[in-house]
Amino acid sequence: MFLAVSGLQKSYGTGIVTPVLRGTGLELARQRIGVILGPSGSGKSTLMNIIGGIDRADGGTVEVDGERISDLTDDQLLEYRRASVGFIFQFYNLVPNLTAGENIEVVSNISEKPLKIDDVLSAVGLADKKNRFPLELSGGEQQRVAIARAIVKSPRLLLCDEPTGALDLETSRGVLALLQRVNAEFGTTILMITHNAAIADMAHSVYRMRDGQVEEATHHDQPVPAERIQW
């Protein structure tokens, strides 16, 4: 199993302690797309941050491609994030005074074996927008740049936090179709969190969270093409 999470626990606070994850777990096979569904406060983002090495759990284990990242030191987690994980967020977090190509180049320069910037721009359909600044791009185009920036370092795991939350239906479909293409063509394992239950149809595995636990996991042998998703 490529991603294996077991017994994960996390609480916040010193005086009044608030449990966020309550012994949760999930498994995701290599080169598959997983979607985590759940209402606000269910622990989705905390779970993803721990898998991505941004936060630490209080208990439990996380293994990615055979590496137990829950046991890594801070320096080792930094290397794990740099070399193995790509992040895509709802808000694109592009550097406004850098062009699309330069935003991607920033990540390329700190990667051991980056893909070619022009190849990545072509893959996301923005070969002709390399020298455009973020404000010269639509919201969907900015998210495509964010995806290109995440995949240029050829990560083993791509983590997406509400990647279509700021987009309309048609633009969302385009972005989700691009993620399916990245999964198919680059073999990237993708884990996405969302409030939008319709997006679950495009996933190989779906995890429904509530009150800090994965209550249900379902699997699809034939995910729906993103272009056919309705909401």
Question: Is pLDDT at 116 greater than 80 in this prediction?
Answer: yes
- Paired with 70 in beta bridges are none
For the stretch 156-170, pLDDT in tens is 999 999 888 877 888
Sheet containing 205-210, strands listed edge to edge, beginning at the edge strand earlier in sequence: 85-89, 157-161, 189-194, 33-37, 205-210, 213-219
Q: Name all domains of the chain by residue range, CATH numbers in brackets.
A: 27-58+74-228 (3.40.50.300)
How far is Cα 86 from Cα 121, in angstroms, rounded to an integer?
A: 16
CA distance 200 to 208: 10
Cα 126 to Cα 177: distance, rounded to the nearest angstrom: 15
Give the pLDDT score at 100.
95
Give me the pLDDT at residue 14, please.
79
pLDDT confidence band for 79 (50 / 70 / 90):
very high
Say how far apart CA 113 and CA 92 lie, in whole Å.
Answer: 24
Name residues whose C-beta falls within 8 Å of residue 20's C-beta, 6 or more positions apart in sequence. 10, 11, 12, 43, 46, 212
CB-based contact 124:169 (threshold 8 Å): no
Q: How far is CA 210 from CA 4, 26, 38, 42, 207, in A?
A: 19, 14, 6, 5, 10
State the pLDDT at residue 31: 95
* Identity of residue 110: I
What are the pLDDT digits (tens) for 40-65? 889 999 999 999 999 999 999 999 99
Angle at 84 between CA 138 and CA 79, to 5 degrees: 115
Of 16-20, 24-28, 99-103, where does mean pLDDT reach its minimum? 16-20
Is 0.95 surpassed by the pTM of this model? no
Query: Who contacts 187 (Cβ-Cβ below 8 Å, separation ≥6)?
Result: 30, 31
What is the C-alpha separation between 76 and 165, in angstroms, rounded? 32
pLDDT at position 229: 86
